[in-house]
Copies of this chain bind each other. A is one copy, B any other.
Amino acid sequence: MPTKRSRRTILLEELTSAEFARLVKRRPLAILPFGAVEEHGSHLPLCTDAFQAEEVARRVATELGAILCPAIRYGECRSTRNFPGTITLTSETVRSLTFEIVSELGRNGIDKILIITGHAGSGHMAALRLGAFRAVEKMPRLKVMVLSDFDIAYDLRGKEFPVEDGHGGEIETSRMLHVRPDLVGKFRPRGTSRPPEYMVLPDPEKYIPTGIYGDTSYASAAKGGRIDDYVVKRLCELARKNFKMGR
């Protein structure tokens, strides 16, 4: 089970305007989580990406004394868009959302922003980075870090987990068993095929009949807990180093 919510997590949603103004003077980090509403196989819910990213973001925020911003649970989902339940935004809207929220945080005096996205599609990531880049171009004192928790979790492929693991696979299923076990189906699917390399297709779903990549039968909450611990630890290290924050 995930760590219980700490008293110390600073949630932007709960601060008054004056409390926010006082906090900003300490030059805190702000963390903005992104998710997606996207097919994740027969065993995982549509907001799988959000559940993982928000859990990790919360733990990192607590650890680093950062302000946790309300999550955006919608993203750009191209390869799964034709599966039922995928609600995709355009790249342009993801970019605008990112640009505007980052710019607004900057206008409010925040100068360190960490964007953690549970969805790691390349178009979605590019839109987040482009939005952040435009804000940084306009306000060069801003430092923004953009990554997916899967950029880190997938370090473990070829180590504790198979190389052939991806969307809705063993790593993702394990993490969900750790964070929201109530939402993981009993039947654990397996997906071995992927759309043809480098192709831009109108129907990528035809090449991924189970809607996932990997073998979920080996997934476990314990593994998920270890992955999340690793992701949180590594994210804290990266943030401390990149934002030059003390321990």
Known: A47-B70, A101-B74. A200 touches B133 (CB 8 A): yes
Contacting pair B100 A84 (CB below 8 A): no
Chain B min CB distance to A185 (Å):
7
Contact partner of A130 among B89, B109, B123, CB < 8 A?
Answer: B123
Contacting residues, chain B, for A40 (C-beta < 8 A)? 16-17
User: Is A144 in the interface zone, CB < 8 Å from B?
Assistant: yes
Contacting pair B93 A93 (CB below 8 A): yes
User: Is A65 in the interface zone, CB < 8 Å from B?
Assistant: no
Contacting residues, chain B, for A156 (C-beta < 8 A)? none
Q: Which of A60-110 contact B (CB under 8 A)?
A: 69-74, 78, 83-93, 96-97, 100-101, 104-105, 108-109
A43 to B17, CA, bound (A): 9
Contact partner of A84 among B21, B70, B200, B202, CB < 8 A?
Answer: B21
Contacting pair B144 A200 (CB below 8 A): yes
Contact partner of A13 among B45, B84, B143, B202, CB < 8 A?
Answer: B45
List, sorted by A's number, 29 A–B pairs whose CB atoms are closer than 8 Å.
A12-B37, A12-B87, A13-B37, A13-B45, A13-B73, A14-B45, A16-B45, A17-B41, A17-B46, A18-B42, A18-B84, A20-B84, A47-B70, A71-B73, A87-B104, A90-B100, A91-B126, A93-B97, A93-B100, A97-B97, A122-B125, A125-B126, A132-B200, A133-B200, A136-B201, A147-B198, A151-B198, A197-B238, A198-B238
Binding site for B on A (CB under 8 A): 12-18, 20-21, 24, 35, 37, 39-47, 50-51, 69-74, 78, 83-93, 96-97, 100-101, 104-105, 108-109, 122-123, 125-127, 129-130, 132-133, 136-137, 140, 142-147, 151, 183, 185, 196-203, 211, 238, 241-242
